[in-house]
């Protein structure tokens, strides 16, 4: 297997990008990435993997052609990868595999989602498409509702407090307040986070990620030739993935996400590293409870101690493992299909020492990207070369 490096990463501004189309958002991300490399032309890119749910259904078929056309890459093999909120994490996985296997030398992986400019009814419909429809959805269940079920049980089994959930939101808003690309560039107080209107008890509006337009991409290449394009490539030293039952009620446990546990183990084994070696991480905090589950599933803390970990401040900038320094899905925003590679964008910047919320001298980072309510997950470990 060949070693794989990331030579560039780009991201559009996240938020309500009213009037912007998929392809325009992707161009923004692409141009930022291309601006970071020397001696690389569009024509050197051999294949594209694009993550998207095609939220709202506006370009449900053959989106990859639309996207590669927008950045003048038409002609190369391209495909849309769909695993709900885990789409671009999986797009990245296939991009890595195509280089590791020797089939390609330089590829692009990314994602794009357009969630604004859509009626409320259409939006509510699309929020439910990634869950089990026949049983969960048709009991009146919603997407936040599923994570709420996990939260209620976690609180019961481990004594996790609402304050812990809200503290995740406070931390991620704080990080986002210094990220010029974040959807919410403002801090919130614990009191605000605790007392907001209920969406799906015990989750309130501040426990939920926003509705976001955005795109992200990374350019990967065979590590052997990476220095030709940049002095500071970042190596992908481990990558894992997993799946679980689509419906929550069918799973063995709902206080952990097994797909994430499996993906983490696979990634750590490949990297020959342990959770304690990680210095900075971006985890999938679509809801605040999801970040707490991520700490436990990845192995940053013991099962059940996720609430304690946030309350002890271990994941703030001064903590043991700063988490979601870009603001997370919660405050930076969650353009579904773009999130996986948007997480890589943050870690890439951290490991090159270019981040707004820089973790001092970080050399090893991790991303954790979950699809649906945990039915698919990818974990990627990156290291400064």
Binding site for another protein (CB under 8 A): 121, 124-125, 127-129, 132-142, 144-145, 148-153, 156, 197-203, 247-250, 254
Catalytic annotation, pick one of 154, 334, 355, 368 = 334
Question: 9 vs 203, which CB is nearer to another protein?
Answer: 203
Helix or strand or coil: residue 74?
A: coil
Catalytic annotation, pick one of 85, 208, 221, 377 = 85
* DSSP code at position 329: I
* DSSP code at position 184: -
Question: 29 vs 246, which CB is nearer to another protein?
Answer: 246
Q: Which positions ≥6 away from 349 have C-beta within 8 Å?
A: 9, 355
The verdict on whether 208 is a catalytic residue reads no
Helix or strand (DSSP H, E) at 274: none
Nearest-10 crossing angle of helices 143-158, 288-298? 60
Question: 98 vs 255, which CB is nearer to another protein?
Answer: 255
Question: 132 vs 346, which CB is nearer to another protein?
Answer: 132
Question: Residue 143 Cβ, how far from another protein at the closest point, in Å?
Answer: 9
Question: Residue 154 Cβ, how far from another protein at the closest point, in Å?
Answer: 9
Q: In 3D, which of 16, 132, 112, 135 has the Cα closest to residue 58?
A: 112
Question: 35 vs 140, which CB is nearer to another protein?
Answer: 140
Question: Residue 141 Cβ, how far from another protein at the closest point, in Å?
Answer: 5
Helix or strand (DSSP H, E) at 259: helix 258-271
Question: Residue 63 Cβ, how far from another protein at the closest point, in Å?
Answer: 22
Residue 239 dihedral angles phi and psi, to the nearest 5°: -145, 135
Helix or strand or coil: residue 374?
A: coil
Query: CA–CA separation, 331 vs 62, rounded Å?
Result: 30
Measured CA distances, 310 to 75, 160, 183, 330, 369 (Å): 48, 11, 23, 15, 19
Question: Residue 199 Cβ, how far from another protein at the closest point, in Å?
Answer: 5
Query: CA–CA separation, 305 vs 319, rounded Å?
Result: 15
The verdict on whether 85 is a catalytic residue reads yes
Q: Which residues are marked as active site?
A: 85, 334
């Amino acid at each position: 297997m060949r070693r794989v490096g990331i030579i560039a990463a780009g991201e559009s501004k996240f938020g309500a990008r009213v009037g912007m189309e998929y392809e325009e958002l992707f161009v923004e991300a692409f141009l930022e990435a291309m601006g970071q490399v020397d001696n690389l032309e569009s024509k050197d890119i051999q294949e594209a993997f694009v993550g998207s749910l095609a939220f709202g259904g506006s370009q449900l078929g053959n989106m990859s052609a639309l996207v590669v056309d927008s950045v003048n890459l038409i002609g190369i093999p391209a495909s849309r990868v769909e695993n709900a909120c885990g789409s671009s994490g999986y797009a990245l996985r296939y991009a890595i595999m195509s280089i590791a296997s020797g089939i390609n030398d330089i590829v692009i992986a990314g994602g794009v989602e357009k969630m604004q400019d859509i009626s409320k009814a259409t939006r509510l419909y699309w929020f439910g498409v990634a869950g089990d429809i026949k049983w969960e959805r048709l009991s009146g269940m919603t997407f936040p509702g599923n994570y709420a079920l996990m939260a209620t049980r976690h609180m019961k089994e481990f004594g996790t407090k609402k304050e812990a959930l809200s503290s995740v939101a406070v931390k991620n808003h704080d990080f986002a307040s210094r990220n010029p690309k974040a959807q919410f560039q403002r801090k919130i107080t614990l009191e605000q986070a605790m007392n907001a209107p209920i969406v799906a008890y015990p989750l309130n509006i501040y426990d939920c990620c926003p509705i976001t337009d955005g795109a992200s991409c990374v350019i990967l290449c065979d590590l052997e030739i990476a220095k030709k394009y940049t002095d500071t490539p970042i190596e992908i030293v481990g990558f894992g993935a997993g799946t679980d039952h689509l419906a929550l009620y069918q799973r063995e446990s709902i206080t952990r996400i097994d797909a994430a546990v499996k993906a983490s183990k696979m990634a750590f084994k490949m990297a020959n590293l342990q959770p304690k070696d990680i210095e900075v991480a971006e985890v999938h905090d679509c809801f605040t409870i999801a970040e707490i589950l991520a700490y436990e599933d990845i192995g940053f803390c013991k099962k059940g101690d996720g609430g304690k970990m946030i309350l002890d401040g271990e994941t703030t900038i001064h903590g043991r493992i700063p988490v979601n320094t870009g603001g997370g899905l919660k405050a930076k925003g969650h353009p579904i299909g773009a999130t996986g590679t948007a997480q890589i964008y943050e870690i890439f910047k951290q490991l090159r020492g270019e981040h707004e919320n820089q973790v001092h001298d970080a050399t090893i980072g991790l991303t954790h990207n979950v699809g649906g309510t945990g039915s698919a997950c990818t974990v990627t470990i990156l290291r400064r070369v």
